[in-house]
């Protein structure tokens, strides 16, 4: 399985010379970013597809920063008309209220799974043939601040103005302005205080839609199934739909659970933050 080196462009940044430059530098994957004021339609997707094909990028993805007005109709029409479909579609709403509301993700879920895409976490959709889908099936999928990868990469280094770095539990963001970036003290960083058991539980849900209950019981004396059931009862989910199933101490989210994954992760984080646990090294 080859490595992917991805470059992302906003739609108003697309120039043939820039794409050729990054392709010449060895980037073999490209992502097109649709800002909230840029409409997703068949014409725009055909254009992105032709650029990815013309510059011979092995991987072609799109990022949606807002939900299309009629995602089902648009995605069906657009994806069936273009020659090369995106290998990945990522939903990263810039509106904070939309980001914490799973309604947009749920609409995209039904539209894109009907078209054959598989879901990663609560914001990524990938083709079944993609390396990310294969890594998820083999439990080799990792997630960092830049998204999912199948290359065992947990850290990210931000180069250039406005980019962020996440190395271990250290976090830093470069200044947006070039003049401030050129004189920036790169020794400045913050330390993420999130406890390891919180990150591990949420990462397992986001990467695999599963939880290894035995691991958390042995490592942290934590009964995640009981905690989840308590959380679900307080969040007033539809009682006619189960959010997960348990077999051989592996908790697996149902389709309804995946659709409610944003709320579950937020609830778990809040619950964990209010609870003390013993840690066995």
Q: Is residue 281 part of a domain?
A: no
Write phi, then psi, for 30 (nearest 5 degrees). Answer: -135, 140
| Pair type for strands 29-34 and 6-10 | parallel
Same-domain pairing of 184 and 129: no
Rounded CA separation 190/183 (Å): 19
User: What is the per-residue pLDDT for 166?
Assistant: 86
* Cβ-contact 211, 224 below 8 angstroms: yes
Query: Which H or E element spans position 196?
Result: helix 196-208
Q: Which two tokens stand for residue 38?
A: 């840029």
Distance of CA 209 to the CA centre of its chain: 13
Same-domain pairing of 16 and 133: yes
Same-domain pairing of 82 and 209: no
Same-domain pairing of 84 and 45: yes
* The total number of structural domains that make up the chain: 3
Q: Is residue 110 part of a domain?
A: yes
Same-domain pairing of 126 and 181: no
Same-domain pairing of 161 and 237: no
* Cβ-contact 207, 121 below 8 angstroms: yes
pLDDT tens digits for range 125-161: 999 988 889 889 888 888 888 888 888 788 888 888 8
Q: Is residue 278 part of a domain?
A: no
* Cβ-contact 34, 74 below 8 angstroms: no
Q: Is residue 149 part of a domain?
A: no
Confidence band for 278, pLDDT divided at 50, 70 and 90:
very low
Domain span at 178: 155-193
| Pair type for strands 164-167 and 170-173 | antiparallel
- CATH number for the domain harbouring residue 259: 1.10.10.920
User: What is the per-residue pLDDT for 280?
Assistant: 46
Same-domain pairing of 21 and 96: yes
Cα angle at 255 between 60 and 197, to 5 degrees? 85
**Strand, helix or coil for residue 59:** strand
pLDDT tens digits for range 204-230: 999 999 999 999 999 989 899 998 888
Same-domain pairing of 163 and 231: no
Owner of token pair 């462009």:
9
Q: Is residue 279 part of a domain?
A: no
Task: Note the pTM of the prediction, 2 decimals.
Answer: 0.85
Confidence band for 42, pLDDT divided at 50, 70 and 90:
confident
User: What is the per-residue pLDDT for 101?
Assistant: 65
Same-domain pairing of 36 and 132: yes
Q: Which two tokens stand for residue 66?
A: 């807002």
Q: Is residue 1 part of a domain?
A: no
Mean pLDDT of all residues in the chain? Answer: 85
Least Cα distance to 150 among 132, 166, 167, 133 occurs for: 132
Least Cα distance to 111 among 168, 66, 71, 157 occurs for: 71
Same-domain pairing of 77 and 47: yes
User: Which residues are CB-neighbours of 232 under 8 A, at least 6 positions away?
Assistant: 243
Which is it for the CA torsion 20, 21, 22, 27, positive or negative? positive
Q: Which two tokens stand for residue 140?
A: 């080799």
Query: Which H or E element spans position 120?
Result: strand 118-120
Q: Is residue 280 part of a domain?
A: no
110 forms bridges with which residues in the sheet?
A: none
Same-domain pairing of 173 and 200: no
Same-domain pairing of 106 and 161: no
Q: Is residue 189 part of a domain?
A: yes
């Amino acid at each position: 399985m080859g490595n992917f080196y991805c470059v992302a462009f906003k739609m108003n940044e697309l120039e043939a010379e820039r794409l050729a430059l990054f392709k010449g530098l060895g980037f073999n994957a490209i992502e097109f970013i649709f800002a909230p004021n840029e409409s997703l339609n068949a014409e725009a997707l055909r254009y992105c597809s032709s650029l990815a094909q013309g510059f011979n990028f092995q991987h072609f993805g799109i990022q949606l920063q807002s939900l299309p007005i009629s995602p089902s109709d648009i995605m069906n029409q657009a994806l069936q008309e273009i020659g090369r479909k995106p290998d990945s579609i990522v939903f990263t709403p810039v509106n904070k209220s939309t980001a914490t509301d799973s309604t947009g993700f749920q609409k995209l879920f039904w539209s894109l799974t009907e078209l054959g895409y598989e879901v990663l976490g609560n914001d990524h959709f990938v083709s079944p043939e993609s390396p990310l889908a294969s890594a998820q099936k083999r439990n080799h999928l990792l997630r960092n601040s830049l998204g999912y990868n199948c290359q065992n990469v947990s850290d990210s280094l931000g180069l250039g103005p406005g980019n962020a770095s996440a190395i271990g539990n250290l976090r830093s963001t470069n200044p947006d302005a070039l003049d401030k970036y050129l004189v920036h003290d790169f020794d400045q960083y913050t330390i993420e205080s999130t406890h390891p058991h919180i990150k591990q539980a949420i990462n397992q849900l986001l990467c695999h839609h599963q939880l290894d209950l035995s691991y958390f019981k042995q490592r942290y004396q934590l009964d995640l199934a009981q905690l989840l059931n308590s959380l679900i009862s307080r969040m007033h989910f539809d009682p006619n739909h189960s959010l997960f199933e348990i077999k051989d101490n592996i908790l697996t989210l149902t389709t309804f659970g995946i659709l409610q994954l944003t709320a579950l992760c937020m609830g778990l984080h809040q619950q964990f933050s209010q609870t003390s646990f013993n840690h066995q090294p």
